[in-house]
Amino acid sequence: MRCSRMLLIGGLLLLHACGKSNEPKPETSKSEAATTAEPSVTIENAPFVATIAAKGYRVVQAKRFPAQLAARRATVVVYQSSDGKSGGVLYSQSMPSGPDLVSWHWLFRDAAPDSIQALELNDDGLWDVRVFMKGGKVQDLIQGRAFTFMGPEREGLVALNGESSAPADLWKCFDGDTATVWQTPASGAFIDIPNPFGLGKGELAVRLAGKDRPTKIGLVAGDATQALELAGTSAEQRFKLDPAVMAAPSIRLEIQGAGANVAISELEFR
C-alpha cells in the first residue's frame, strides 16, 4: 500500500515538472529586444575618446541616447578638462554600421558637465536636454530654441554654442535649414566658434541670406588671421583654411562689407 502511494506521488511530481518546463516563456517586447541587441557603449569605447584624450580632456560619461532620425544610433559623450573647470557634451548619430558623426556639440567654458539626460521640458513634442554640472548646477537646453537635432551630422567637432553679436539665434546657422537665418546688425557683426579639438579637413562652408550680403569674412584665430572674399550669392561657398586657423582653440568670424544687416543661413567647419 505504502509503495503504491509513493509511486502515485512520484508520478504527480513528474507530471508537474514536465508541465512547468513546457510552459511558454513571456515574450520580450520589440523595444526591449532592440535595447538588448543595441551594442553597449562605455567610456573606453566611446566615440571620439582618443581625440578627446589627445587634447587633455577626459570622458566622464558615455551612453546611448534617443536617436532623432530614423534608422540612426545615437550616443552622448560627456567630457571634462583635466582641471575639472570646463568641458562639453558631444551628441553623435550614425547608421548601425557607419561612423559616428556629430549632430551637436556644446562646450561649457565656465562649468564642467557631469552627465546628461533627455527630458521633455516644454510640452512641444520634442525632447530636450538637461546637463548636470559639477557642483550641482543644471543647464537646460530646449530643442527649437537653443539647438536642433534635425540637421545633418557633421564631420567637425567645433562647438555649436559659441558667442556672437546675436547669440539667441546663432543655432540657426547650424540647423541644416536654409529657411532659418542668423541675423545681426552689420556693425560689429561676429561669430566666435570654440574649436577645442582642431579641424580635420580645414574647410569652411557658408551660405548667405538676405539681399544686402557681406563681401568679406575676416578670420581671427589667436595670432593667425585669414581674409575670405565672399560672392553675392545664396549658394554654398567653400573656403580652405590656413593651418594656423585650423589648430586654434577658438575661431572668430568678423563679417564685413554689408549694409545694415548680415544674414547667414548655414555655417559649417570641417
Which segment of 97-101, 163-167, 246-250 scores lowest on mean pLDDT? Answer: 97-101
The answer to whether residues 265 and 233 touch, using CB atoms and an 8 Å cutoff, is no
pLDDT, position 258? 85
Helix, coil or strand: residue 259: coil
Cα–Cα nearest to 265, from 192, 190, 177: 177
Q: In this structure, is the dihedral angle defined by the CA atoms of residues 74, 50, 86 and 82, taken in order, positive or negative?
A: positive
Confidence of residue 199 (pLDDT cuts 50, 70, 90): very high
**CATH domain 159-270 topology:** Jelly Rolls (2.60.120)
**What percentage of the chain exceeds 70 in pLDDT?**
86
Q: For the chain, give every domain's residue range.
A: 37-153, 159-270
Whether the pLDDT of residue 38 is over 70: the answer is: no
Average pLDDT of the chain, as a whole number = 87
pLDDT digits (tens, 9 = 90+) for 155-164: 899 999 999 9
Q: What is the pLDDT of residue 87?
A: 98
Is residue 150's pLDDT more than 90? no
- State residue 37's pLDDT score: 52
Radius of gyration of the chain (CA): 26
Q: Report residue 138's pLDDT band, with 50, 70 and 90 as the boundaries.
A: very high
Residue 115's beta-bridge partner residues? Answer: 132
- Model pTM score: 0.83
Confidence of residue 68 (pLDDT cuts 50, 70, 90): confident
Percentage of the chain modeled with pLDDT above 90: 77
Mean pLDDT along residues 36-44: 77
At 51, the pLDDT band (50, 70, 90 cuts) reads very high
